[in-house]
Amino acid sequence: MADLLADAVAELYESDPDDFTQRRAELAAGAREAGEAAAAKQIAALRKPTRSAWVVNRLARTDPEVASRLAALSAELHAAEGSADGTRIRELTAARGRLVDALTGQALADLPAPPAALREEVTATLDAAIADPAVAARLGTLVRAERWAGFGLAPMSPLPEGTPAKKPAPVEGSAERERRRREKIMEAERAVAEADRAAEAAAAAEQQLEDTVRRLETELAAARQQLVEARRQSYRAESQRRRAGVTLARLRE
């Protein structure tokens, strides 16, 4: 039963979601015919992923290094936040942006003209996988795009579902203020890193546009020169035509 279910999950969450419903019914029917009613029930209960979730699932399933790269960076970020190392947090936040951008490009590489909304959801999901271990654990079987809206990162080892959370020990007022101050500093460090990244992207776009403008100005100047020369040639040709017509008229007299 485990093999039937695992094979069905692998096929369904890697294949195009447009074929999901029909193929799920076929796989469930095959499991029932094989006498695996329990597996058939579980296969039939599998949920169809959105297109953005499918894109991330396919990436995670076709490239085994994706999950490990996201997990490694997540671990480094947790360590940096735990030590309140502002410099390291900035470096890792920039690395986080580069990794997410690279993996998003890899995930969408073979899709013709993917819409901006799809790209944004894939990016948000990969970023959430770095922040939240629960999202990372679902890579390959996601049914919808994910987004991390919490502060910083989620705990590395979340409590099992149903486990009551421990009440925090009383904290002295000065210690609480210091904790909040450190959180604000880390948040500001992350904001600075994101702003640096945005500024670099804007500067690159500006430079690209300047290069385009210079190229177009050069082409325009060349086109104007060609127009001047074409007008000269047109004037000369018209003069020659007129002279030839006068000569012809005289010869016919």
pLDDT tens for each residue of 165-202: 444 344 445 666 655 666 666 566 566 556 655 666 66
How much is the pLDDT for 219? 86
CB atoms within 10 A of CB 90: 18
What is d(CA 53, CA 3) in angstroms, rounded to the nearest whole number? Answer: 23
The three-state (H, E, C) secondary structure of the chain, written as one string? CHHHHHHHHHHHHHCCHHHHHHHHHHHHHHHHHCCCHHHHHHHHCCCCCCHHHHHHHHHHHHCCHHHHHHHHHHHHHHHHHHHCCHHHHHHHHHHHHHHHHHHHHHHHCCCCCCCHHHHHHHHHHHHHHHHCHHHHHCCCCCCCCCCCCCCCCCCCCCCCCCCCCCCCCCCCHHHHHHHHHHHHHHHHHHHHHHHHHHHHHHHHHHHHHHHHHHHHHHHHHHHHHHHHHHHHHHHHHHHHHHHHHHHHHHHHC
How much is the pLDDT for 169? 40
Whether 12 shows a pLDDT value over 70: the answer reads yes
Residue with the bigger pLDDT between 187 and 110: it is 110
- Answer for the pair 16, 49: CB distance below 8 angstroms, yes or no: no
Taking only the tens place, the pLDDT of each residue in 202-229 is: 666 667 777 777 788 888 888 888 888 8
What is d(CA 82, CA 23) in angstroms, rounded to the nearest whole number? Answer: 46
Q: What is the chain's mean pLDDT, rounded? A: 82
Taking the CA atoms of residue 210, residue 211, residue 212 and residue 216 in that order, the dihedral angle to the nearest 10 degrees is 100
What is d(CA 190, CA 184) in angstroms, rounded to the nearest whole number? Answer: 10
Taking only the tens place, the pLDDT of each residue in 55-78 is: 999 999 999 899 999 999 999 999
How much is the pLDDT for 201? 63
Whether 160 shows a pLDDT value over 80: the answer reads no
How much is the pLDDT for 183? 60
Arithmetic mean of pLDDT, 44-56 = 95
Rounded to the nearest 5 degrees, what angle is found at the Cα of 95, between the Cα atoms of 94 and 98?
A: 90
Q: For the whole prediction, is pTM greater than 0.85? A: no
Percent of the chain with pLDDT over 90: 48
How much is the pLDDT for 128? 94
How much is the pLDDT for 76? 93
- Domain locations in the chain? 2-48, 52-149
Q: How confident is the model at residue 92 (pLDDT cuts 50, 70, 90)?
A: very high
